[in-house]
Chains A and B, each alone.
Chain A
Amino acid sequence: MKAAEKRIVIGVYHLSRSFGKYFALQDINLQVANGEFVFLVGPSGAGKSTLLRLIYMDDFPTTGQVVVGPYVSTRMKRSTIPFLRRRVGIVFQNFRLIDERTVFENVALAMKVTGAGMSEIKRQVTDILARVGLYHKRYDYPPVLSGGEQQRVAIARAVANRPAILLADEPTGNLDPVVTKSILELLFKVNAAGTAVLMATHDIDLVRSFGQRIIYLEEGRIVRDKEMIFVGDLRERLPDSKVSRRADDLEGYDISGEGSGNGVERGPRE
């Protein structure tokens, strides 16, 4: 078991974001390393969504800065935002799929816009749909899918370009507990393959049992950043997981999108 090289994939430094006189976020400092799985927890209105938007640079800080791989918020040009987005997968509570495109096309779109070739797209999308268990529904349109299935498509789309980072904003917010578990499982699977995951949720009970790093956000401030206790494939932590736990379920993703390597190798602590 070799120690994985640790790299910071998300850095947030002295960040504040105000809307008029109201501070949605205040003096936020945090770093996320490659291959980490971090929960961002806080009550409604704490600023979770705002923080994620600042990370994928749909919004910019009032003061301070956000660094995502080679992209720095204070030096960002509008024309380079698309290239940041290709290295950051994003998943929302409301799935945000395009209704008039099939499951396959929804996932393929993320690759198409990068100028990827047809054969590569076909191979990769087929592969990913198989991994999220929706290959048999590839010709269906999102409106006929269940919420859980739609979210799987959204996750498939988010990881289609093998991103270094996956941001998930209440990805289980619209789903029942059973489906919630399966979506979490899928996110753990993505993480096990080497993608750093930052998942926002207001459901503290949901995330407490995994021993993962949890950042508590309240009224725009980080009130606690709990160390990671458990190191390893998080799926082991899910009760009666039916998914194979082999870490090569999803092949390792190139974390930073710049170096080589297959992400982080991890194992349970001795």
Chain B
Amino acid sequence: MNVNAMRYLISESVLMLGRRKGSNIISIVIMGLSLLILVVFLLVTLNISRIIEATREEHRVYVYLEDGLAQNVSQAIQLRLLGSEGIEEVIFISKEEALARFREALGENRDILEALEENPLPDEYRVKLRPELIRSDFMGRMASEIEGWDGVEEVRYGRRWLERGETLVRGFYIVDLCIGAIIFLSVIFVISNTVRLMVISRRKAIDVMKLVGATNAYIQVPFIMEGALQGIFAALLAVGLLVLIYLFGTRYLSGLVFLDPGAVVGFIVFCALLGALGSFTAMRRFLKM
């Protein structure tokens, strides 16, 4: 490829994009808005899955100890817990501490505790598991095993809550995936179709170029580049609007996260490819290749 050819291809692409500003802007807006639906969806999914993860992180297993246990037995339990599979952290909370926390939590109603003659709460170990092991099957097994240990009174891990949560999360991801697939396919359809219409609207110019002896590459490459540029501009429009939505959202919801920069770049590249591909496939028909 020589210098003239390079210059031609670049100036052609820019010229085509510039000369039809009106219809190009319309195409880019149409593509941008449909991409906006996709990125909003991605942002919502990302944030919901973050919340799910955070909730999972918070989850603890409570190992209650028998009353009046010797200290060395209690410590042996702690060591055994720390040595068990998937356990990240074990915190001891004495019955006194538990009561103090309880009192704290009761606030103004703490008077009702005055009636107590002795502390009814047991000593406990608060166990943090690796997040990926917070599953009802694993935890159920683990709980019944630990319950069999000497000195352990009871193990609670919020079974019902966990099972319901799991069903909910699974349901959410299935629905989310379906919606995502539909949006994704529509976006591909909208973009390739918009680019195709752009190519069809230039049919006359394509015929003229064939007439004056342009090779297929000379005809095609500027169109493919234009398709890619349209894709990029549409992606930038969508991301720009998404930033606004995000900034607006952070005023009402704290802890909102944005798509990471790598994903944004990937998205823009994806849109460029989609535009180029749409243009390429539309051209093939005209050029009878």
The answer to whether B8 and A115 have CB atoms under 8 Å apart is yes
Q: A98-B205, A112-B8, A115-B5 are in contact. Are A85 and B19 (CB under 8 A)?
A: no
The answer to whether B214 and A90 have CB atoms under 8 Å apart is no
Whether B251 sits at the interface, judged by CB under 8 Å, is: no
Segment 91-126 of A: residues with Cβ below 8 Å from B: 96-101, 105, 109-110, 112-118
Contact of A96 among B7, B15, B208, B213 (CB under 8 A): B208
The answer to whether B213 and A113 have CB atoms under 8 Å apart is yes
Q: A100-B19, A100-B20, A101-B19 are in contact. Are A114 and B213 (CB under 8 A)?
A: yes
The answer to whether B4 and A118 have CB atoms under 8 Å apart is yes
The answer to whether A85 and B213 have CB atoms under 8 Å apart is yes
The answer to whether A90 and B4 have CB atoms under 8 Å apart is no
The tally of residues in A whose CB lies under 8 Å from a CB in B reads: 28
The minimal Cβ–Cβ distance linking A14 to chain B, given in whole angstroms, is 27
Q: A96-B207, A101-B19 are in contact. Are A115 and B212 (CB under 8 A)?
A: no
A112 to B3, CA, bound (A): 12
CB 8 Å contact bits of A47-84 with B (1 = contact, 0 = none): 00000000010000000000000000000001100111
Segment 1-29 of B: residues with Cβ below 8 Å from A: 2, 4-5, 7-8, 12, 15, 19-20
Chain A residue at minimal CB-CB distance from B207: A96
Write out the residue numbers on chain B whose beta carbons fall within 8 Å of the beta carbon of A157: 212
Segment 81-119 of B: residues with Cβ below 8 Å from A: none
A114 to B209, CA, bound (A): 11
Contact of B212 among A86, A100, A117, A118 (CB under 8 A): A86
Write out the residue numbers on chain A whose beta carbons fall within 8 Å of the beta carbon of B12: 112
The answer to whether A86 and B8 have CB atoms under 8 Å apart is no
Write out the residue numbers on chain B whose beta carbons fall within 8 Å of the beta carbon of A90: 211
Q: A101-B19, A113-B218 are in contact. Are A96 and B4 (CB under 8 A)?
A: no
The minimal Cβ–Cβ distance linking A150 to chain B, given in whole angstroms, is 13
The answer to whether A86 and B7 have CB atoms under 8 Å apart is no
Contact of B4 among A82, A83, A98, A115 (CB under 8 A): A115
A56 to B211, CA, bound (A): 9
Q: A98-B204, A100-B19 are in contact. Are A110 and B4 (CB under 8 A)?
A: no
5 A/B residue pairs, CB under 8 Å, sorted by A: A56-B211, A86-B212, A96-B207, A113-B212, A114-B213
Interface residues of A (CB under 8 A from B): 56, 78-79, 82-86, 90, 96-101, 105, 109-110, 112-118, 157, 160-161
